[in-house]
Structure 1
Amino acid sequence: MQFKDYYEILGLEQGAGDAEIKSAYRRLARKYHPDVSKEAGAEDKFKAVNEAYEALRDPQKRAAYDRLRSRGYRPGDDVQAPPGGFGGGGAYGSPDLDEIFAGGGAAGGFSDFFEGLFGQNRRAAGGFNTGRAAPPRGDTRAKLAVPLEAVYQGSSVRINVNGKTLDVRVPKGIREGQVIRLGGQGERGDLLLEVEYAAHPHFEVDGRNVIHILAVAPWEAALGATISVPTLGGSVELKIPPNSEAGRKLRLRGRGLPGDPPGDQIVELEVLAPRAHNATQIDAYVRLREAFGDDWRRA
């Protein structure tokens, strides 16, 4: 198994805080999301960013990974697990999870390195041993990354697991951490799929609220504007009040994830100055500078 440097993937130092990890993940997930990126290898980079975030956002996983990384491994180095696994006196374990329903199902998509470090103790001899007992009745646990649109609408997700293609029914408004049980679909018993929300190019989730960063031009922020913004239920027209500043948050009630009550969509404004590409645009910026002067910051 080859070592992966999750900090390097996210462009972070090992001592990075939770906010830095989340910010780096959000930026890179947007950059490499297959629906928006035209870069070569974007899909592989997107998967790597997701995996790195999954490893570092959880304190227990991050601590286990940091212990391994402290041994001086570099990306591509072969990794051998010591007796008892990487955890060192007690392996990483998942909390008990509520079971939602039995249906047809899906699975993770993380690398062998990730599964070896954090996965179930279900690999054949010669693989990583996490030192963790098998789940009751031989059940197998896996992650199920669910698109936010499926959570919003309640729909099926098609995946490949154990050599079979299955359609997983996703209940409307299902929460992260809840589990879908797939009877008889595991390696030795049932397959228990722990739900997590897949990274999205336009939204991130805070409880049942969804957050969208909306880029606006300086004149739109200063003068006000009506702008079409995406929501999980389709685009809507949003009125930007005059004299809005960067970081201002506008609320679209009921446009978040379903629930009782449903969440809202929070639109956070990001004021961006377009690049000047011709003489007319350069002249417009010159006139703005003359109109506001050098003291605009104090104003």
Structure 2
Amino acid sequence: MEFKDYYQTLGVARDATAEDIKKAFRKLARKYHPDVSKEPDAETRMKEVNESYAVLSDPEKRAAYDQLGQNHQSGQDFRPPPNWDAGFEFSGAGSSPTETADYSEFFAELFGRMGGAHHADFHAGGFQAHGADHHAKILLNLKDAFHGATRQISLRVPKLDAQGRVSLETRTLNVRIPRGVREGQMIRLAGQGTPGMGGAPAGDLLLEVWFEPHPRWRVDGRDLHLSLPLAPWEAALGTVVPVDLPDGSLKVRIPEGAQSGQQLRVRGKGIPANPPGDLLLDLQVVLPPADTPRARELYETLARELAFDPRRAEELDHA
């Protein structure tokens, strides 16, 4: 996927005001609109201009884009880092499927899921508009899913300052994290979205839960995956080993003759829920190094006494 430099497309500086961006868009629209343009690539260029304006004219999209694109150039191969948009609060209706389809893969990847819903109605008493829902992705420690917690969450809220430039305000909320929460689940904070109009209720704030990356644990739904290293004698003879979990530890029996790549399932020891997830242990046999004379001697004894040929054993298994 190619990185899109929206500022370059509109021909404006990165610190351009909202008015600067609007003027640049109007100028390019007069030049490239297919109904009036003589340029051979007018339709393509107009789509690029529309996409750039859709992002840079929206303070929320622009703030997120600015953080993401500081060190990238137009046309450069690009993949957004995981959870790049965590901590940004977005409002409004977001990008419709039609709009996303009209724009590039880059736009769809970054902005295809942002925003909430907005409802407006006329009543006998006058115009009422339900406040828009807001949306933010938050990163939690996996331990919170096992125990539940109350966490202080800080969100960055993009705003236009008096000069028409994007600035970021921070608001901090105390959020109750339910035990058993899973990735992708929404925590709804009622009334924390856009205020309503004409006496209509405010929108809600929807917090989309994701877990902070962990060097050992990997989450899949409510299942918890863990790579478990074993010494050769533990795998060959079987043993009982302790396994650390986010909420403590447990002892797991390793069967005799365990092999690297084998997976053991411990039911009910994943993320707590009804029913709870499972713990999946991916076994990995780790060889001790032959880095001392005694270690080499032991390996040489094994080679003589066992006379084991792993390639021959594999051929017999597939015969």
Q: Write the deviation string for residues 247-298 of structure 1: whole angstroms up to 9, x where unpaired.
A: 2222222111122211111112111112233221121122222223362331
Equivalent residue in structure 2 for 1:173, among 166, 174, 180: 180
Which structure 1 residue ranges, 5 or more long, are not aligned? Answer: 1-65, 89-107, 123-127
Question: Following the alignment from structure 2 to structure 1, what is the Cα–Cα distance between the partners of residues 113 and 227?
Answer: 41
The counterpart of 1:146, out of the listed 133, 140, 143, is 140
1:230-241 equivalence runs, <5 A: 230-241=244-255
3-state SS in 2 of match to 1:83: helix
Compute the displacement of 1:177 (Å): 2.1
Q: Separation in 1 of the partners of 2:270 and 2:242?
A: 17
1:278: which partner in 2?
Answer: 292
* Counterpart selection for 2:153 from 159, 162, 165: 159
Which SS does the other structure have where 2:269 is aligned? Answer: coil
| Paired residues of 1:183 and 1:191 also in contact (CA < 8 A) | yes
SS in structure 2 opposite 1:230? strand
User: Are the equivalent residues in 2 in contact too, given 1:203–1:210 (CA < 8 A)?
Assistant: yes
239-248 or 136-145: which moved more? 136-145
The structure 1 residue matched to 2:49, chosen from 68, 80, 83, is 83
Aligned mates of 1:184, 1:279 — CA distance in 2: 70
How many residues are paired up?
A: 202
Mapped contact 1:173–1:259 kept (Cα < 8 A): yes
Residue 80 of structure 1: how far off its partner (Å): 5.3
Q: Counterpart of 1:176 in 2: which secondary structure?
A: coil
- Residue pair 2:89, 2:134 contacting (<8 A) in 1 also: no
Q: In structure 2, what is the equivalent of residue 208 of structure 1?
A: 222
**Correspondence list, 1:46-85, <5 A:** 66=1, 68-69=2-3, 82-85=48-51
- Using the size of structure 1 for normalisation, the TM-score is 0.56
Query: Structure 1: which 4+ aligned runs deviate by more than 4 Å?
Result: 77-81, 118-122, 128-134, 183-190
Q: 1:216: how far off? A: 0.5
The answer on whether the counterparts of 2:89 and 2:155 sit within 8 Å (CA) in structure 1 is no
Change (3 A) 1:228 1:120: same
The secondary structure found in structure 2 opposite 1:297 is helix
Contact 2:235 2:254 (C-alpha < 8 Å) held by counterparts? yes
Q: How far apart are residue 232 of structure 1 and its match?
A: 2.8
Shift of 1:142: 1.4
Listed one character per residue, the Cα deviations across residues 6-42 of structure 1 (whole Å, up to 9, x for unaligned) are: xxxxxxxxxxxxxxxxxxxxxxxxxxxxxxxxxxxxx
Please name the residue that 1:224 is paired with. 238
Taking only the aligned residue pairs, the percentage that are identical comes to 37
Could you tell me how far apart the structure 1 residues matched to 2:177 and 2:295 are?
49
Matched, 1:269 2:283: yes
Report the RMSD for the aligned CA atoms in angstroms. Answer: 3.7
1:83 partner letter: V
Change (3 A) 1:217 1:259: same
Q: CA deviation at 1:225?
A: 1.7
For residue 198 of structure 1, report the CA deviation from its aligned partner: 2.5
| AA of the residue aligned to 1:192 | L
- Contact 1:256–1:263 (CA<8 Å) still a contact in 2? yes
Tell me how far 1:246 sits from its aligned partner. 1.0
TM-score, structure 2 length as denominator?
Answer: 0.53
**How far 1:182 sits from its partner (Å)?**
3.0
Q: Does 1:195 align with 2:151?
A: no
- 1:148 is displaced (CA, Å) by 1.7
Kindly name which structure, 1 or 2, has the bigger radius of gyration based on alpha carbons: 2
| SS of residue in 1 equivalent to 2:301 | helix
SS at 1:235 equivalent: strand
- Assess, with a 3 A threshold, how the Cα gap between structure 1 residues 225 and 132 changes in structure 2: closer, same or farther: closer
Please state whether the residue corresponding to 1:289 is helix, strand or coil.
Answer: helix
Contact 1:232–1:255, Cα closer than 8 Å, also in 2: no
Bigger strand fraction: 2
Please say if residues 84 and 130 of structure 1, whose CA atoms lie closer than 8 Å, have aligned partners that are also in contact. no
In the other structure, the counterpart of 1:289 is 303
